[in-house]
């Protein structure tokens, strides 16, 4: 399995979540900053290897085998992110690019020993679940802050967008995983929100709220 094949599998996996139909070549190309024609070529190769199901003009979907491979890459990616934050003092906005490289290291023993070394974490630094060595992913109920009712007390448990710029914004506003949040008011005009974060008052745009996962306490 090449580096490139793994990246395609992972992208198809992520696009598949909450999507019953086939993933379009356009969507994949868009996600990978490549061209639809390149995707068509690669998708044929993956179909040849029984990693995806592909019928012309119908989009693509993962086989069980393909999903299993993809999940293992995600497992490695998130374990390495935990390692970087917990052991090497990286901040949560610095880990993604390095994990993009580390996720391709091939050694089941390494992955499992790393998991053990980190004390079998269930979530990565962005609140995303870490598949176990069988590929099982623990379901956690969480919702977007933007879909949370007024005055409901919640705790921040994850981010939808984990780009460096969003994460740095959250740092600046002192919002982190574990922060307690309550929506104090909604502005009708632009959907912006006034929050109480760990008893501090704070105003955020709709877009911010639409990228924060929370759970009710």
Retrieve residue 181's tokens. Answer: 């949040």
What is the closest distance, in whole angstroms, from the C-beta atom of residue 132 to a second copy in the complex? 18
Q: Does 84 bind a second copy (CB under 8 A)?
A: yes
The nearer residue to a second copy, 26 or 117, going by C-beta atoms, is: 117
What is the closest distance, in whole angstroms, from the C-beta atom of residue 103 to Mn ion in the complex? 9
Question: Do strands 212-216 and 153-159 pair parallel, antiparallel, or not at all (unpaired)?
Answer: antiparallel
- Under rule CB under 8 A, how many of the chain's residues touch a second copy? 19
Retrieve residue 140's tokens. Answer: 């956690």
Burial of 77 (0-12, 13-18, 19+ CB in 10 A): buried
List residues binding Mn ion (CB under 5 A). Answer: 81, 96, 124, 126, 128
Q: What is the b/e burial string over 145-170, where b = at least 16 CB atoms within 10 angstroms of the residue's CB?
A: bbebeeeeebebbbbbebeeebbeeb
**Candidate residues 25, 61, 148, 162; the one interacting with DNA per rule CB under 7 A:** 25
Distance CA 92, CA 80 (A): 12
The nearer residue to a second copy, 115 or 128, going by C-beta atoms, is: 115
- 4 contacts 50 by C-beta, under 8 angstroms: no
What is the closest distance, in whole angstroms, from the C-beta atom of residue 103 to a second copy in the complex? 11
Closest listed residue to residue 95, CA positions, set 84, 87, 105, 86 = 84
The 42-81 site mask, x for binding DNA (CB under 7 A), equals xxxx--------x-xxxx----------------------
Q: What is the contact surface with DNA in residues (CB under 7 A)?
A: 2-5, 8, 24-27, 33-45, 54, 56-59
Q: What is the contact surface with a second copy in residues (CB under 8 A)?
A: 84, 87-90, 94, 97-98, 101-102, 104-107, 109-110, 113-114, 117
């Amino acid at each position: 399995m090449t580096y490139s094949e793994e990246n395609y599998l992972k992208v198809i996996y992520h696009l598949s979540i909450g999507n019953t139909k086939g993933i379009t070549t356009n969507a994949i190309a868009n996600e990978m900053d490549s061209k639809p024609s390149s995707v068509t070529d690669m998708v044929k190769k993956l179909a040849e290897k029984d990693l995806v199901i592909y019928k012309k003009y119908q989009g693509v979907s993962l086989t069980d085998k393909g999903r299993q491979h993809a999940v293992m890459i995600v497992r490695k990616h998130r374990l390495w992110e935990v390692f970087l934050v917990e052991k090497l003092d990286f901040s949560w906005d610095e880990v993604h690019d390095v994990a993009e490289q580390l996720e391709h290291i091939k050694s089941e023993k390494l992955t499992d020993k790393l998991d053990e070394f980190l004390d079998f974490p269930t979530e990565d630094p962005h609140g995303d679940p870490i598949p176990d060595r069988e590929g099982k992913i623990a379901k956690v109920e969480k919702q977007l802050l933007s879909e949370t009712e007024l005055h409901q007390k919640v705790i921040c448990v994850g981010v939808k967008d984990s780009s460096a710029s969003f994460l740095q914004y959250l740092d600046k506003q002192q919002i982190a995983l574990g922060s307690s949040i309550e929506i104090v008011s909604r502005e009708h005009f632009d959907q912006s929100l006034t929050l109480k974060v760990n008893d501090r008052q704070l105003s955020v745009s709709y877009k911010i709220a639409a990228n924060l996962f929370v759970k009710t306490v």
